[in-house]
Amino acid sequence: MIIEAILLTIITASTPLVIAAMGELVTERSGVLNLGVEGMMIIGAVCAFATSQITGSPFIGVLAGILAGAAFSLLFAFLTLTLVANQVATGLALTLLGLGVSGMMGESFVGVPGVKLQPIAVPLLSDIPVIGKLLFHQDLVFYLSILLVVGVNWYLFRTRSGLKLRAIGDNHGSAHTLGIHVVRTRYLAVLFGGACAGLAGAQLSLVYTPQWVENMSAGRGWIALALVVFASWRPWRVLAGGYLFGAVTIGQLHAQAFGIGLPSQFLSALPYAATIVVLVIISHNRRTTLINTPASLGKPFVPDR
């Protein structure tokens, strides 16, 4: 069925957006703005692909992607949380560094057939018409993305440590006065965000297009950043927004395949144009934005000051 095939591709295209945005959501909830999501994604993609080629196991490749993204985020955390460097400038530098390093690391893997992460069929449930294949015959990363949304939502709004993290994001000075370890919590949040970005990158090179192509993240890290704002820092809205943007991405590809009389360049730009339109619409509702935005987002914290 054509519709089923389109829905399957939408799910595959949306999964890395959801994962990367969930990691950034937790990072920003702690008050840290990491614009290096694109760089961490592409590093995760190349490390996952290279490791799966060397070991022959896509599962080890996924783990390598997660660790690579986390390690890259640790560099950002050290510069911004320990050395108190500007978060915006450091995040942008991290993206440029990731793009450059990944290109160098992946040069020998260009054109090499990838080791694809095969889908996992859930017994009985995968036999349900249409829904079974869409929801219960997917790869490991898809299932992890759903668990991630559920887990992050529970952690942020149902646990004591999640409350502390949100308190740090809203007012790091008051949180520090109350005895909450601001820097340590932010380090862990940044590492989590990097691990998620690395996992999203691994999905790109092992599931979405099982091969290595330079700059294959293609701006998805920036879309993930926009998704967090679009979702008003709410996990379930990230899930909905991720699939919305994924549908736009796949929609323009099918539109080109069907020969719709529009320039291919215009259709290719639709996902990014949609991102800009959504951000403009959201910016008009200042009250909602101010209520949901972590008040300490992007602000440096030094305990001695």
Give 170's pLDDT tier (boundaries 50, 70, 90). Answer: very high
Q: How many CB atoms lie within 10 A of CB 266?
A: 11
Q: What is the pLDDT of residues 34-69, one digit of tens each?
A: 999 999 999 999 999 999 999 999 999 999 999 999
Q: Are strands 137-138 and 120-121 parallel, antiparallel or unpaired?
A: antiparallel
Kindly indicate the confidence band of residue 277, based on its pLDDT and cuts at 50, 70 and 90. Answer: confident
With bands split at pLDDT 50, 70 and 90, how would you rate the model's confidence at 292?
confident
Specify the CATH architecture of the domain 2-116+124-292: Orthogonal Bundle (1.10)
Q: Please write the tens of the pLDDT for every residue from 108-124.
A: 888 888 888 888 888 88
Instruction: Of 271, 219, 269, give the one whose Cα is nearest residue 249.
Output: 271
Specify the amino acid at residue 270.
Answer: L
